[in-house]
Homo-oligomer: A and B are copies of this chain.
């Protein structure tokens, strides 16, 4: 490819709304162009990256035995009504009416359509297992699209769906996909982790996220440096402490804490470690009578150590809270506790409520909590002596750095990640809703066991940039660079030798199938180098008059601090040795 035939449009400044590096750099490098909030044109430079991502994903999906199809972007509402998602999904689901006033949606994902295909096409156990995938435009009407391709509204996703005859076969399909994903992410040349994720109502452990490691990632990833353990924050278990609860050593005391409504403030005021305080969170579950009418709220008091954060997914698994919960309102709290939030605790309440203690809190002694009276806390609180044992003890907190690894093989560390892939065992959630059955050996209809597997094709380049950039621009891994090599001739207009050498090298490399760019725009060296460093082409060859006279070209990898002189005659072999196979 020659630059004069391509569309290169680099910018000195990124637009003001570009908050993260990948967004800034993709805009500055002319890879994407904003059309509306969360809606981007993939410009020629960006599309090349996306196509390479697609090609790797497609190759590995095919190798894993998945079969590609393409489902419609605009889908009739009927199937979405069969599963109830047409009504249940929020405004992320973009709904349309056509000219006949019939309801449609823009696909955010395609479980309904693929399950409809499966129930029609996969009629016998002999046709299973089957895995159908597509690489196709999706739309989710995010409330706050941001970060460029990281959280756009329109995006490209690879979504695959497996259909199996039973749970064991579905697990095999799931494992095959998890393996394929490892091959895919290995090939991208990115540092990533496959982390266990919560599988929601389905249960079981068959859900993994593929997270590209990046300091700017939106997700916290928990892992054990001494073992294979890795999970996302929602999933990572905080083990129960192995020690027994210490005996009570202090008396229960009411202490004034004027204006100190946070555990940190209270600990500082009292000169005690934050770990000796307990925070009280009040949740509510709404009850209905037999007629289904609202019958008042049941309140729940959750107790967490002052330095710990609540984990909503874990809370959602506590019996009684597993059908849905909400935070109590301030009026509900004041009515129940006689105090506003900030000074709440489990002691001295007139009306009953359910107390759920985090595993850590359940083993504490002499702790500090609110006195249910504004500007007062209690110190020296002890289970059994000052209040009854909690109604439930559960893991309801996020793990923190240094917690023991759930696999018992070290301590946990935490880093940030960007979710770019997800494999998920669905069970019969969709096949049951849509009656997708096959006939088994005995001719009896059985529900298909399903899995779904996504890769954010257009998010991946953004994640790659978050992980690989410096102050000058992007540093692409070879596998997904828009061009692998850029040939930069200096003074091509003045020197026919430079022009001839540059064009010859360009042709030789192109003939070898190398993705090479010849910058024939006639830019000055500084501007030309800056452009390609911004764009992030990993390998650069400079052709200059002086170099040619001395018989060499200059090679520099995007990460190198200086150029290497390479004899003209050996440059193709040199480059081939540098390229990742």
Contacts and interface: CB of A to CB of B under 8 A. Distances in A.
A143 B76 CA distance: 16
Contacts of A132: 7, 44
A232 interface: no
Given A7-B130, A74-B154, A153-B74, A68 B47 contact: yes
B117 A72 contact: no
B41 A74 contact: no
A514 to B, nearest CB: 16
A69 B43 contact: yes
A71 interface: yes
A70 B41 contact: yes
Contact of A5 (B67, B69, B74): B67
A39 interface: yes
A6 interface: yes
Contacts of A120: 33
Nearest to A78: B36
Given A7-B132, A154-B74, A33 B99 contact: no
A47 B70 contact: yes
A74 B44 contact: no
Interface stretch (A90-98, A168-176, A248-256, A497-505): A90-98
A76 B76 CA distance: 22
A68 B482 CA distance: 13
Contacts of A50: 70
Interface string A487-528: 000000000000000000000000000000000000000000
Contact of A139 (B6, B30, B68, B74): B74
A121 interface: yes
Interface residues of A, number: 49
Contact of A44 (B40, B69, B72, B94): B69
Contacts of A153: 74
Contact of A42 (B69, B94, B98, B130): B69
A106 interface: yes
Contacts of A219: none
Given A44-B67, A94-B74, A99-B141, A121 B39 contact: no
A73 interface: yes
A69 B41 contact: yes
Contact of A7 (B73, B75, B121): B121
A405 to B, nearest CB: 40
A9 interface: yes
Given A35-B113, A39-B75, A75-B35, A65 B5 contact: yes
Interface string A74-108: 11100000000000000110101011000010100
A5 B62 CA distance: 10
Given A5-B67, A7-B67, A68-B47, A139 B73 contact: yes
A7 B153 CA distance: 32
A33 B96 contact: no
A544 interface: no
A75 B39 CA distance: 8
Contact of A76 (B35, B130, B136): B35
A35 B72 contact: yes
Interface string A130-141: 101000110101
Contacts of A65: 5
Nearest to A75: B35
Contacts of A43: 69, 117
A99 B143 contact: yes
A174 B181 CA distance: 45
Nearest to A50: B70
B113 A73 contact: no
B7 A74 contact: no
11 contacts: A7-B130, A30-B121, A36-B72, A39-B72, A39-B75, A41-B72, A44-B132, A73-B73, A94-B99, A96-B106, A106-B106
Given A43-B69, A74-B94, 20 more contacts: A5-B65, A7-B67, A7-B130, A9-B121, A30-B121, A33-B120, A35-B76, A35-B113, A36-B75, A39-B72, A41-B72, A41-B113, A42-B69, A42-B70, A44-B69, A73-B139, A74-B139, A74-B153, A91-B99, A106-B106
Interface of A: 5-7, 9, 30, 33, 35-36, 39-44, 47, 50, 65, 67-76, 91-92, 94, 96, 98-99, 104, 106, 113, 116-117, 120-121, 130, 132, 136-137, 139, 141, 143, 153-154
